Amino acid sequence: MKGNALVAHGGGPTAVINASLVGLVDGCRGMTTLYGARGGIKGILEENFIDLLSVDRALLASVRDTPASAIGSSRQKLAEADYERILAIFRKRDIRHFFYTGGNGSMDTALRFSNSSDLRVIGIPKTIDNDLAVTDHTPGYPSTARFFAEAARDIGEDNRSLPSPVCVLEVLGRNAGWVVAATCLARKGEDDAPHLIYFPERRVSLETICGDVERVYRRLGRVVIAVCEGQLDEQGLAFGADVDRPASAVHRLSSNLGHTLARLITEKTGLRARAEKPGLLGRSCGPFATELDRREAYECGLAAASAERGMMVALRRDSRTFLTPLETVARKERLLPLEWIAPEGNDILPAFAEYARPLVGEIVHYPHLY
Amino acid sequence: MKGNALVAHGGGPTAVINASLVGLVDGCRGMTTLYGARGGIKGILEENFIDLLSVDRALLASVRDTPASAIGSSRQKLAEADYERILAIFRKRDIRHFFYTGGNGSMDTALRFSNSSDLRVIGIPKTIDNDLAVTDHTPGYPSTARFFAEAARDIGEDNRSLPSPVCVLEVLGRNAGWVVAATCLARKGEDDAPHLIYFPERRVSLETICGDVERVYRRLGRVVIAVCEGQLDEQGLAFGADVDRPASAVHRLSSNLGHTLARLITEKTGLRARAEKPGLLGRSCGPFATELDRREAYECGLAAASAERGMMVALRRDSRTFLTPLETVARKERLLPLEWIAPEGNDILPAFAEYARPLVGEIVHYPHLY
């Protein structure tokens, strides 16, 4: 193909985004230059590039298996003038192929470049949130789902062996409940954690949560709750958690919702409550990256190299890739189907596990002496 | 040996306490009965026992490799009357051998039973805090140290690829800095996280922390801080974090010190800060249990079975066990040697890594493209 190519990462990293990067590099071997923008959009604007085709192949192969982004990412929003500056940089360097790896916000940026230039713009899917439209699932999600499934199991076992009345596990996720739903995947018995799961798709009042907690506590003497960092109460507020920039969904990420909820539960019910928040560890935890997730991420990068312009690579159930127009995914947020949420709003129905288990793999269930 | 035996667990579980349990069961095969008290001291008082010698051997073998306590534990403090009640229960059931698995508080309880009865009381060491005296290290610590070393690495890589100015990793540990020190073990390069480590052995003011943060930020544009949940400021307070029961060190565990510190750093320096708190996951995370830790835990349980009364099993550097009198460990808290802490109080010196690396094993260091 004529001209040079560039790849950039947008938004939060995942445990397998580097596999997509290496897949793309392998797919672009015939090209003259594949620039990697260091630190996402910011790297493009500053022309802070790495020549990916000249990176030692053994180094690339080992980078494939590492979490977080090896070229860096950013959440920078593009100002009007930035588009023109970037297009000028692309012309100057004869960059005719632009690969952008990210979620639905990044796909919107990609779409805009695609619509306003002759660039061959290709989207590579990436989000732990699993909220991209069209694709069956998104690279990054299976590994994070596995992390939180195992976290819920292990915190549940800790809580079983030394019951502290209430333990809140704060899970990644703003608007979509795909990750928090995955905490169900290690459950087998009726008393396995988590005993209550809430979903950002359904607002829930503190009163409802406390009623649920008291019911479980009466039955088991202990309660493990899984809740998203983005969960909202019935008024659409974050239960009084610290919110850095209320207008920005992204910056709710730095909040303390789990801890705040734990304190409120204690106030209301008199039951001692604590909270755990693995936070960023849930998206970048190397030891939890699954082989399926890595392989699919790699395949998405590889398929992008030869994709036609204006498309995003997507995944079928069986890991095969296909292409979908950027406008089918840009800014579209796929939430958890409401019919998969239990009518009481505090648990997930078996349809979700049927969807997620093949992606996440079997989670070891621990034997018990009692 | 004549009479029956009983084992109970005290305090927080670990990733390998079940290996100690199975080691003890294997060592007690010649005895008539080995009771396991369900839920620690509470289980003894309620005579809630499991007959461990009749548990299916295949089940026991699989329990060996699970985190958290398979018979349950408690933090219950013994009232004066409880001692007499327990001794009466022991007499009634002809229990003459009492194995108590725990840290220095549990060893104090064990010592009291040993001093006031004819029981053969044996202590089995267990604590992620690594703060037991005499023993070179304690089962449970290597696995938790590994968890936080890898957590610091992975959060560091996430922060490297999408720099949020300041990220606070809240680490388990009240008074002893053995676990927070272990966050250094994945570092190789000058810019690897954590960039600042504080120790409960040294109080530190918010002003000092903010000065350190600004210095690192000027150099790298990002700062990862590792700090204990039990860290105190120069006034001996928890930086304003929620403290459920100020008089109880144990109950500081449910606080939000990392988040509170992050908010204060933002207020003082203007740098956005967030906090992660894996919490209980750090002591009960199955996938991070190391084979060395499991094997040593098993050996401690096995050695306890034939130990002489009034002793605790301890470990040498090379994993061999030896016995030490309970009075040498009861209520004694081994803190991190002050001479291992950097003079500035914000990092650990190489002497610690020389101590810890053989216990924790090599931590994979990720390659970088930039």
With CA atoms as reference, report the closest residue to A95 among A71, A73, A133, A122. A122
Q: How far is A339 from chain B (nearest CA, A)?
A: 31
* Identity at B349, one-letter amino acid code: L
Q: Which positions in chain A touch B254 (Cβ < 8 Å)? A: 164, 262, 272-275
Rounded Cα distance, A228 and A255, in Å: 11
Closest-CA residue of chain B to A68: B158
Q: Which residue has the tokens 């069209």?
A: A134
- Report residue B61 as tokens: 């073998």
Average pLDDT over residues B58-75: 96
Judged by CB atoms closer than 8 Å, whether chains meet at B254 and A244 is answered as no
Cβ A254–B274 below 8 Å, yes or no?
A: yes
Task: Assess whether pLDDT exceeds 70 at residue B204.
Answer: yes
Annotated catalytic residue: which of B108, B129, B192, B212? B129
CA nearest to A184, candidates A152, A209, A157: A152
Tell me if chain B has a CB within 8 Å of the CB of A151.
yes
**b/e string for B211-222 if b means 16 or more Cβ within 10 A?**
ebbbebbeebeb
With CB atoms and an 8 Å threshold, state whether A277 touches B272: no
Strand ranges, E, within A203-303:
223-228, 273-276
Inter-chain CB proximity B284 and A150 less than 8 Å: no
Mean pLDDT of B279-306: 96
pLDDT of residue A251: 47
DSSP string over B105-152: HHHHHHHHHHHTSS-EEEEEE--TT---SSSSS-TTHHHHHHHHHHHH
Q: Using one digit for the tens of pLDDT, what is the confidence trace for B114-166?
A: 999 999 999 999 999 999 999 999 999 999 999 999 999 999 999 999 988 99
Cα–Cα dist A259/A266, whole Å: 11
Only one residue has tokens 């997620």, namely A356
Q: Is A250 on the interface with B (CB under 8 A)?
A: no
Given B73, B154, B367, which is nearest A285 (Cβ)?
B154
Does the distance separating the beta carbons of B287 and A151 come in below 8 Å? no
The contacts of residue A193 (CB under 8 Å, 6+ apart) are A152, A153, A155, A156, A157, A159, A160, A187, A224
Interface of B with A in 202-241 (CB under 8 A): none
- Helices of type H across chain B: 17-27, 41-45, 57-63, 80-92, 104-115, 141-161, 178-181, 206-220, 257-269, 281-284, 291-305, 350-360
Are the beta carbons of A262 and B254 separated by less than 8 Å?
Answer: yes
User: What pLDDT score does A250 carry?
Assistant: 47
Residue B96 has pLDDT above 90, yes or no: yes
Report A:46-65 residues touching B (Cβ under 8 A). Answer: 50, 52, 55, 59, 62-63
For residues A8 and A126, the answer to whether their CB atoms sit within 8 Å is no
A49 CA to centre of own chain: 26
Residues B126, B17: contact at Cβ < 8 Å? yes
pLDDT in tens, chain A (370 residues): 899 999 999 999 999 999 999 999 999 999 999 999 999 999 999 999 999 999 999 999 999 999 999 999 999 889 989 999 999 999 999 999 999 999 999 999 999 999 999 999 999 999 999 999 999 999 999 999 999 999 999 999 999 999 889 999 999 999 999 999 999 999 999 999 999 999 999 999 999 999 999 999 999 999 999 999 999 999 999 999 987 665 554 444 568 999 999 999 999 999 999 999 999 999 998 999 999 999 999 999 999 999 999 999 999 999 999 999 999 999 999 999 999 999 999 999 999 999 999 999 999 999 988 7
Mean pLDDT, residues B264-268 taken together: 96
Is B256 in Cβ contact with A71 (below 8 Å)?
no
* CB distance B139 to B17 below 8 Å: yes
Which residue would you say has higher pLDDT here, B52 or A79? B52
Write down the residue that tokens 């800095």 correspond to: B177
Whether A369 and B50 lie within 8 Å, measured CB to CB: yes
Mean pLDDT of all residues in B266-287: 95
Query: Partners of B169 in the beta sheet?
Result: B226, B276
Q: Is A42 left (phi over 0), alpha (psi -120 to 50) or beta?
A: alpha
Q: Is A129 a catalytic residue?
A: yes
Residues of A in Cβ contact (< 8 Å) with B72 = 160-162, 370
Q: Does the beta carbon of A42 lie under 8 angstroms from any beta carbon of chain B? A: no
Question: Which of A193, A198, A228 has its CA nearest to residue A211?
Answer: A198
User: How far is residue B250's CA from residue A333's CA, in Å, rounded to a whole number?
Assistant: 43
What mean pLDDT do residues B185-206 have?
A: 96
Chain A residues in contact with B153 (beta carbon < 8 A): 286
Q: How far is B73 from chain A, CA to nearest CA, in Å? A: 5
State the best of B154, B168, B271 to mutate against chain A, taking most chain A CBs within 10 Å.
Answer: B154
pTM: 0.97
Closest approach of B101 to chain A, Cα-based (Å): 14
- Tokens representing A250? 């992204």
CA distance B162 to chain A (A): 5
Which residues of chain A does B366 touch, with a Cβ-Cβ cutoff of 8 Å?
Answer: 63, 66-68, 286
Residue B282 to chain A, least CA–CA distance (Å) = 9
CB contact under 8 Å between B68 and A157, yes or no, is yes
Question: Are B234 and B126 within 8 A, CB to CB?
Answer: no
**Are B72 and A283 in contact (CB < 8 Å)?**
no
ipTM of the complex, rounded to two decimals: 0.96
